Amino acid sequence: MCEIHRRGFSGISQDNDENFFSHLTAIIDSVDEFSSVEITKAPEGLRFRIAPSLPRYTNMLLQEILKFHNMFGIRLELSKSIKTSSTINFEININ
């Protein structure tokens, strides 16, 4: 199972947030079960950093993440350094 770190969350999360995180981690886990996920709560939204266990999983993870978010109409702001760093960084603005 992928390793998940949460930062900036205080108290109890809402059910919708937990369901979203569960689905997202299940998708990531289905592609690379040894990846690492960091979710940071910021005032303007959520920041995600996904580090695959091997660089070869980066493209598959990115495809599945985009497919999942497009299904719900959620717009992502992707980092430009995905190819060079082999990590996937994106933000979801709540405002």
Per-residue pLDDT, 3: 86
Per-residue pLDDT, 76: 94
Per-residue pLDDT, 64: 96
The CA dihedral of 49, 29, 69, 84, to the nearest 10 degrees, is 40
The Cα-based distances of 94 to 25, 27, 37, 64 in angstroms read 20, 22, 20, 21
CATH class of the domain comprising 3-93: alpha beta
Q: What is the pTM of this model?
A: 0.88
pLDDT tens track, the chain, 95 positions: 788 899 988 776 788 888 999 999 999 999 999 999 999 999 899 999 999 999 999 999 999 999 999 999 999 999 888 877 889 999 999 87
Per-residue pLDDT, 80: 84
Q: In three state form, how does the secondary structure of 20-59 look?
A: HHHHHHHHHHHHCCCCEEEEEEECCEEEEEEECCCHHHHH
